[in-house]
Amino acid sequence: MISGKLISAICYVLFAPLIGGLIDGIGRKISARMQRRVGPPLLQPFYDLGKLLHKDPVHVAPSQNFFMMSYLFFIVMTGGMMFLGMDILMCMFVLSTAVMFLYFAAVVTGSHYSAIGASRELLQMVAYEPCVLLTCVAFYLVRGSFETAEIIKGDVSPIVYLPGVFVAFIFILTIKMRKSPFDISTSHHPNQEIVKGITSEIGSRNFGIYTLAEWYETVFLLGMVALFIINSNPWSILAAVVVIALVYFLEILIDNTSARVKSDVMIKVSWAVTLVAAGFNILVLIFFLG
C-alpha cells in the first residue's frame, strides 16, 4: 500500500507547477488592482510558460542547459523531501545547492549584468540563511525532531511556541520570493536597474525552466509557512490555507509599496530581525523547556 507521505510527495511533483502558476496569476491580478489596472488574465503565467518552452533553444554557454536543469531538479527534490516527511534541515541544504546551480548558470555567460545579479544572489543567501537555520532549530526544540512528518503531529501548532520565529521567517520570505524591497538579484517587474539581473542571459526554454522552478519553490516556501500552523487536528489544514493566503497577500502588498534597498541594508535589517525576533524566541523556548 502506498503511504500517505509518498502520495503527498507525488502530488507535489505533479501539481505544484499548477498551483504555483495559479498563485503567480493571482498575484499579478492583485498587484494590478493595487495599481488601479485591470491586469493580465489569471492564466497568463501558463501562456507565457508555454510560449517559452516552445521557442527554439538559445543559450550563451552550452553548460547553461545543464545548470538550469540541475536547478530545477534540486528545487523539485527539496519540496519532494519535505512532503515525504523528511529532515527539514536537509531540505534547506538541498535548496541552497539549487541556488548555487542558478548562480553557475548566470556566471558562465560572461555577461556583466548576469555576474552582478549572481553576486547579489549570494548576498541574498547571506541575508536569509541564518533565519532559515534558526527556523529548523526552532522546530526541533518544539517537536524534538527535524522531520516534517513529526513537526505536524503535535496537539498544538508550532506557531504557539514560535511567534518570533514565524515573524522572522515571513520577513525573509520577502527575499526568497524576490519581492521589493529585497528583489536585488532579479525582479518580476521591468524596473530592475541591471536589466533582469541573474536571469539577463537566461533565454527561451531555459527561462521557462527557471519559471517552472520558481513555481515549485513558491509552493515549497508556502508549505514551510503551513508547518507553523498544522497540527494533529485536521481542521488546522484549513487554518494553514487561510494563513498562507494572508501571508501571500502581505508579500504582494509589501512588494507594491516598497522601494528596493541596497544589499548592505538588506543584510543588516534581515539579520537584526532574525536575531531579535527568532533569536529571542528561541532563547525563551530553551529557558522554559529546560
Q: How confident is the model at residue 59 (pLDDT cuts 50, 70, 90)?
A: low
pTM (2 decimals)? 0.93
Residue 277's domain comprises 4-289
69 CB-near residues (< 8 Å, 6+ apart): 209
Question: What residues does 87 pair with on adjacent strands?
Answer: 147
99 CB-near residues (< 8 Å, 6+ apart): 71, 121, 125
Q: List C-alpha distances in Å: 287 to 28, 141, 201, 283.
A: 44, 11, 50, 6
Q: How many domains does the chain have?
A: 1
Q: Which of 5-9, 17-21, 39-43, 188-192 has the lowest mean pLDDT?
A: 188-192
Cell digits for 113? Answer: 549584468
Q: Which of 21-35, 74-88, 176-190, 249-263 has the lowest mean pLDDT?
A: 176-190
Whether the per-residue pLDDT at 221 is higher than 50: the answer is yes
Give per-residue pLDDT as tens, 104-116: 988 888 778 888 8
Give per-residue pLDDT as tens, 222-278: 999 999 999 989 899 999 999 999 999 999 999 888 888 888 999 999 999 999 999
Whether the per-residue pLDDT at 3 is higher than 70: the answer is yes
